[in-house]
Amino acid sequence: MDNPTFRSDTVLSDVHLHCPSKSHLMVRLNAVGQPVFLSHFKLLWSTEDLASGKHVREITTGREHQCRSGDELCDKDSSNIKIEGELNSEGVEALLDDDGDLEVVRRPRSASDLQAEDLLRDIVCPVILMKGKEDAFEDEEQECTCSDVIKIEHTMATPLEDVGKQVWRAAFLLADFILFKRDTFRCCTVLELGGGTGITSVIMGTAAKRVYCTDVGEDLLTMCEQNVALNKHLMEPGGGEIKVKELDWLKDEFCTDPEAPYSWSEEEIADLLDHCSVIMAADVFYDDDLTDALFRTLYRITHNLRNSCTVYLALEKRLNFTLRHMDVTCEAYTHFRNTLNDLENLQDGKMKYTVEPIKLDFCQFLVYERIEQL
């Protein structure tokens, strides 16, 4: 008892709590007994508009742009607030209840306030799909067309080693960037490292020619493959293809064992090395050892590519109070930046890397909280 230790083996993503869909239906238990939910994540575009090159219903970040109809609605809300403020500030007297406590007179809430609040955050409670209730999806299906919803199977809480089964904000951020710059990725061959549920690969599949979505663990890869199948309709207009494959950062070679599920064929490895021009990863920097392993894998793969390659990394800077520092720190992010600097300063005569930050002023195409730490 002299040296107490505090341990927590459960990690929770709060993405599913904020506006992704109207409900989350538990559809099954996975191989390790974790409940698997099917969520509908709203897309602010349709496949028809993507095919025509249009951007529809784009929303930008910032509180002043939360309304979809633009500055007109924002100006209207501002004028309402001003008028109501003037009315409430005239002749308001301090009122006391029977016990002598102060009764606070509050400004009436306008419809515009309620609308803005709904756009900012809509807390959603999980719904368990019971046996014999398979038609529970019908209401949602009627309200949203296939072209503006992405369906993802995921878990809501896992041990640290299974966090790939959850959905994370950085995946949405990277998906937003892909949709904003989709012409850049058109007809590309893309590799995703740590694809998890596959949501970013699915979005990339709407533009790219072929996406290799990789991770480790048969249970996770099976879920990822299921998500690819659920969203095949989003990729059909552009003819994109997604291949779910195993790629272990702790190993130096691709898995080519024909008996192993999600292994690579020699043709697939050759296709990746000959044509890959984009590598991406979202929210995979949470463990220092895995960060080191990812950068070693990144160096090994880019060293063997025939063409130059652009790597897109998205992450959330998570601040934590630690007893060791007695302060708020972000050790995982710090280690990531140090390792990234080492890669940029690498001088081995074989490869040259340049690092460039991307401003987050591009449009938001998915409904989620784009927080400052992304």
Kindly provide the b/e burial profile for residues 245-260, where b requires at least 16 CB atoms within 10 angstroms of the residue's own CB: bbbebeeeebbeeeee
| Residue 32 pLDDT level (bands cut at 50, 70, 90) | confident
Q: How far is the C-alpha of 283 from the C-alpha of 194, rounded, in Å? A: 8
Mean pLDDT of 30-38: 86
What number of other Cβ atoms are within 10 A of residue 289's Cβ? Answer: 10
Global pTM?
A: 0.75
Q: How far is the C-alpha of 235 from the C-alpha of 239, rounded, in Å? A: 6
Question: What value does the mean pLDDT of the chain take?
Answer: 78
Phi, psi of 282, rounded to the nearest 5 degrees: -130, 125
CA 99 vs CA 94, 95, 104: distances in Å: 14, 11, 14
Spatial neighbors of 348 by CB under 8 A, at least 6 apart, are none
What H or E segment, with its residue span, contains residue 281? strand 276-282
pLDDT at 253 over 60: yes
35 neighbors 155 (Cβ within 8 angstroms): yes
Mean pLDDT of 253-280: 97
Lowest mean pLDDT among 72-76, 203-207, 266-270: 72-76
Which domains does the chain carry? 163-345 (3.40.50.150)
% of the chain exceeding 90 in pLDDT: 50
At 136-151, the pLDDT tens digits run 444 444 444 567 889 9
Positive or negative, the Cα torsion across 159, 160, 164, 170? positive
Reference 147, options 240, 55, 46; nearest CA is 46
| 13 or 305, higher pLDDT | 305
